[in-house]
Amino acid sequence: MENTIMHFTHPEHQLLLMTCKPDDFRCNLCKTSGTGLRYRCNTCDFNLHQSCITYPQILSFFAHPLHTLVLADHSASTVGPTVCCDFCCEPLKGFYYKCIPCGFNLHPSCSLFPGIIRTRFHPDHFLMLVPTTGSCSACNKNLTVWTYRCGICSVNLHCKCLFTSSFKEDAGAEASKKTQKRAMVTKK
């Protein structure tokens, strides 16, 4: 790991790797608080999470296969209506991926979701990330965006339900029970 780097989001100065106290900085790329290691420009008070330096300037993304996406700075755009991520429907802040021809927008963190996954919450089949409507098998809330889905069992899981620590074991067990019931019905 290098102690100093040049990064395309801050081409004016080198960024120095340093440690900080909890909630001691706000990342200029993702606009969230950070703890632990960060890359910092003391002159400009510019900070990047250690993980945020890995996002590429140009990205190919399976959910938008026709065009590449370019990392753009939302804070540099003119003031206007709130722009949301076309993947999770949450507002964009800081840097985001944009398809210039289509206007497709994506959080850098949303670009990390795998297209196909196997999980302990639904161990019988792979789940594919697809645009889905209906309700989440774990939290029962409406689905309006990309969701992990088992086409065989009709199990749908929000990305947040699947990957966050707030997804409790009992929610996973409940999703498994629904999966088993649906699997029994579809196997008749």
CB atoms under 10 Å from CB of 69, counted, come to 23
Over the chain, what HEC string results? CCCEEEECCEEEEEEEEEEEEEEEEECCCCCCEEEEEEEEECCCCEEEECCHHHCCCEEEECCEEEEEEEEEEHHHCCCCCCCECCCCCCECCCEEEECCCCCCEECCHHHHCCCEEEECCEEEEEEEEEECCEECCCCCCEECCEEEEECCCCEEEEHHHHHCCCCCHHHHHHHHHHHHHHHHHHCC
Query: HSE (CB half, 13 Å, CA atoms) of 160?
Result: 12
Q: What is the pLDDT along the chain (188 residues), one digit of tens a residue?
A: 578 999 988 999 999 998 876 668 888 888 888 888 899 999 999 999 988 898 999 999 988 899 999 998 876 555 566 788 988 888 888 889 999 999 999 999 889 888 899 888 888 999 999 988 889 988 899 987 888 999 999 899 888 888 764 444 434 444 444 433 333 233 33
pLDDT at 31: 84
Contact criterion met (CB below 8 Å) for 125 and 150: yes
Please report the pLDDT score of residue 58 as a whole number.
Answer: 94
Is pTM beyond 0.95 here? Answer: no
pLDDT of residue 1: 56
pLDDT at 33: 84
Which candidate, 181, 28, 31, 75, places its Cα nearest to that of 39?
28
